Chains A and B, each alone.
Chain A
Amino acid sequence: KQEVTQIPAALSVPEGENLVLNCSFTDSAIYNLQWFRQDPGKGLTSLLLIQSSQREQTSGRLNASLDKSSGRSTLYIAASQPGDSATYLCAVSYQGAQKLVFGQGTRLTINP
């Protein structure tokens, strides 16, 4: 069964810190991996997409890495700000199936 796991489930850090969110997946035959942000009561905003042939993607203060062999991805947030507080979801799509399999998310709180 294809599963995606995110650890930790919740994280609280002071403003200005750099932090890493983790995502692991059981089946390494992925097509791509996508990181989303979800604010309370809102939809999902796509942050970064990494194709299976890529090792990392960067957007502003965000950097996502992908290690297919170990079944892991990390989302690195530099110089965190209170506005970064949200739930971050990792999702994987697999070869031959375009649907996204989601992790349960990491609820991030940045304290001023």
Chain B
Amino acid sequence: DARVTQTPRDKVTEMGQEVTMRCQPILGHNTVFWYRQTMMQGLELLAYFRNRAPLDDSGMPKDRFSAEMPDATLATLKIQPSEPRDSAVYFCASGSQGLAGGPSYNEQFFGPGTRLTVL
């Protein structure tokens, strides 16, 4: 049963601390997305990668957020320093865009999310 996994599931930290969230995309998928969900803003894209290359990070505050894919099985989202307004649920999703396929072409599959609370 192929799934996107995310760690940690919950993180409580104090303002100013560094936070690192990790995502393991579905094996064989070549795109990875990071979304943030809040009550006020709903779901917003932060960054996405195709074949490990960053394609769009326009939704991410550049001064404190960074996203990387060290290899095809790991994506990371880092916040340094964290602030209370960063409190949200962060979702990772993966897909197989750009690859020949059937009805699932370009479909995105989401992980369970990391619930971040910054005090």
Q: Which residues of A contact B (CB under 8 A)?
A: 31-32, 34, 36, 42-46, 49, 51, 57, 89, 91, 93, 97-100, 102-105
Give the size range of B's interface with the partner: 20 to 34
User: Cβ of B109 and Cβ of A98 under 8 Å apart?
Assistant: no
Q: How far is the CA of A91 from the CA of B56 in the complex (A)?
A: 18
User: Cβ of B112 and Cβ of A98 under 8 Å apart?
Assistant: no
Q: How far is the CA of A70 from the CA of B42 in the complex (A)?
A: 24
Interface of chain B, helix or strand or loop or mixed?
strand
User: Cβ of A93 and Cβ of B106 under 8 Å apart?
Assistant: yes
Interface of chain A, helix or strand or loop or mixed?
strand
Known: A49-B103, A105-B42. A100 touches B108 (CB 8 A): yes
Known: A43-B91, A43-B111, A49-B106. A99 touches B42 (CB 8 A): no
Kindly list chain B residues whose C-beta atoms are within 8 Å of the C-beta of A44.
91, 93, 110
